[in-house]
Amino acid sequence: MLEWVKALHVISVIAWMAGMLYLPRLFVYHADAEIGSVQSETFKIMERRLFRAITTPAMIATWVFGLWMIHLYGLGLFAMGWIWVKLAFVIALSGFHGFLGRTLKAFAKDENKRDAKFYRAINEVPTLIMIVIVIMVIVKPF
């Protein structure tokens, strides 16, 4: 059972990360599009579909399968330091997910106040978080 839950967790994480990496990239191009243009309206549709149909369901699945794994491993897992760091960074990634959702709503209302350069910079945030999480899970440094 544990192997299936792990597999579903990894699949969910991959889907979630795909959305977390692609959505800010869409924002980069959307920020440069003229408000009301066909291009801007197309980005709104792409962003909404990506966030609602892939990224958010994948985040929910990641949390469900992750919590299920914690249940299967038992509370002894919390005696290890790496799990606390991993959980802190998963919470940070979830917060970033929320930020992307709020940004998507701003774009949908044509109220974005940030430029493409900002979105290029924040596009690296999920990658950095993912690196820490993977190191914690695979290396278990403490």
The CA-atom distances, in angstroms, between 24 and each of 21, 51, 78, 129 are 6, 11, 33, 15
pTM for the whole structure:
0.94
Average confidence score pLDDT of the chain: 97
- 8 A C-beta contact, residue 59 and residue 101: no
E strand map for the chain: none
Tokens of 84: 């606390």
Binding residues: 9, 86
Place of tokens 């794994």: 69
- Of 109, 141, 142, 125, which Cα lies nearest the Cα of 17? 125
Query: What tens digit of pLDDT does each residue of 26-80 get?
Result: 999 999 999 999 999 999 999 999 999 999 999 999 999 999 999 999 999 999 9
Binding residues for heme: 9, 86
49-71: b (≥16 Cβ within 10 Å) or e: ebbeebbbebbebbeebbebeee
Rounded Cα distance, 103 and 106, in Å: 5
Integer Rg of the chain from CA: 17
Cα 140–chain centre separation:
22
- 8 A C-beta contact, residue 100 and residue 20: yes
